[in-house]
């Protein structure tokens, strides 16, 4: 029995599809079962509730062999509450129910000078330690920024040909498609011959700078796209203006600062298959900008 948390999110829904295709015995933990794809509802056992809730994970992990663990962002909490606080009931339940293997979504940066002051990333790495200390075999998927983050800027890209971030324009770093994270998780969950505690970097095929992204988007979208660097103070003000908690916002700002200082560059890169950025733009970003333009009319 494999338990999937956050099965309706960007990564979880892709993972769910892969494991259903593999004909695994599956259980999902979901707040709203109606959000599950119709095609899988009759093929999985459903536990309704939050996987941060002790009673819910007690039900979900009974008889489970393996768990896919993903913490949903909660801008109302401090980073430590959002990651370790949310995970603590599950870590107890892993031990209580004899769960043998856990695969979790985490972040790059362990062992780097920036990791201790990296906000949300620091909290995620602390969560990894909590899970590892529970006695399970654990693999943290050490992920950089996702290509899919750019979908939040589809309006700006379409209307102004501009996307923003806070890192230097020539700062190259790994980036990855969420489909590749799901595929890596599926491989680990299907072949549980691994033991101990460790991390698996999921880096995507190449390191990219914002200038690289702008050039590739220009080529793939058929229109000029440029990068605009946003000061950290401006990012802070914008996020606070959305009503997010001050502690969460500082966690985001600290993470962005650490990334600009090379947080994601600390892992030795070996050739890695996966979705290239040009391919992702053609398959995902371009249709999104076209669809939103059509919706606007």
CATH superfamily placement of domain 2-145+176-201:
NAD(P)-binding Rossmann-like Domain (3.40.50.720)
Cα angle: 182, vertex 184, 186; to 5 degrees: 70
Per-residue 3-state assignment (H helix, E strand, C coil) for 238-261:
HHHHCCCCHHHHHHHHHHHHHHHC
Q: Among positive and negative, which fits the CA dihedral 15, 267, 209, 75?
A: positive
pLDDT in tens, 46-81: 999 999 999 999 999 999 999 999 999 899 999 999
pLDDT in tens, 123-154: 999 999 999 999 999 999 999 999 999 999 99
In 3-state terms, what secondary structure has residue 162? strand
Residue 217: CB atoms within 10 Å: 25
**Contact residues for 263 (Cβ-Cβ < 8 A; gap 6+):** 108, 109, 112, 114, 115, 118, 121, 255
Half-sphere exposure of 30 (CA within 13 A, CB side): 20
As a whole number of angstroms, the distance between CA 138 and CA 110 comes to 15
Look at residue 268 in the predicted model and tell me its pLDDT: 76
Report the predicted TM-score, pTM, of the whole model to 2 decimal places.
0.93
Confidence bin at 297 (pLDDT 50/70/90): very low
As a whole number of angstroms, the distance between CA 99 and CA 86 comes to 18
For residues 32 and 170, is the Cβ–Cβ distance under 8 A? no
| Lowest-pLDDT range of 86-95, 149-158, 227-236, 288-297 | 288-297
For residues 183 and 18, is the Cβ–Cβ distance under 8 A? yes
Look at residue 291 in the predicted model and tell me its pLDDT: 62
- Give how far the C-alpha of residue 197 lies from the chain's centroid of Cα atoms, to the nearest Å: 19
**How is the chain split into domains, by residue range?**
2-145+176-201
């Amino acid at each position: 029995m494999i338990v999937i948390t956050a099965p309706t999110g960007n990564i979880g829904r892709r993972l769910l599809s892969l494991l259903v295709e593999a004909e695994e015995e599956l259980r999902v933990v979901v707040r709203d079962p109606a959000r599950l794809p119709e095609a899988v509802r009759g093929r999985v056992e459903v536990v309704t509730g939050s996987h941060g809730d002790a009673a819910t994970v007690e039900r979900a992990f009974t008889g489970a062999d393996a768990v896919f663990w993903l913490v949903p962002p909660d801008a109302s909490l401090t980073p430590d509450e959002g990651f370790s606080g949310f995970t603590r009931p599950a870590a107890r339940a892993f031990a209580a129910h004899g769960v043998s293997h856990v695969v979790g979504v985490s972040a790059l940066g362990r062992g780097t000078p920036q990791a201790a002051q990296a906000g949300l990333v620091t909290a995620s790495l602390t969560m990894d330690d909590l899970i590892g200390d529970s006695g399970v075999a654990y693999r943290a998927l050490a992920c950089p920024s996702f290509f899919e983050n750019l979908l939040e800027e589809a309006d700006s890209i379409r209307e102004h040909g501009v996307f923003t971030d806070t890192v230097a324009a020539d700062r190259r770093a790994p980036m990855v498609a969420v489909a590749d994270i799901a595929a890596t998780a599926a491989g680990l969950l299907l072949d549980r011959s691994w033991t101990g505690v460790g991390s698996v970097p999921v880096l995507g095929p190449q390191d990219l700078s914002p200038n690289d992204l702008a050039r590739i988007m220009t080529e793939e979208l058929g229109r000029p796209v440029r990068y605009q660097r946003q000061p950290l103070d401006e990012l802070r003000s914008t996020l606070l203006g959305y009503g997010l908690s001050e502690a969460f916002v500082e966690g985001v700002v600290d993470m962005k600062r650490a990334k600009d200082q090379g947080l994601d560059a600390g892992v030795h890169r070996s050739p890695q298959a996966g979705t290239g950025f040009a391919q992702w733009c053609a398959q995902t970003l371009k249709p999104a900008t076209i669809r939103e333009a059509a919706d606007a009319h």
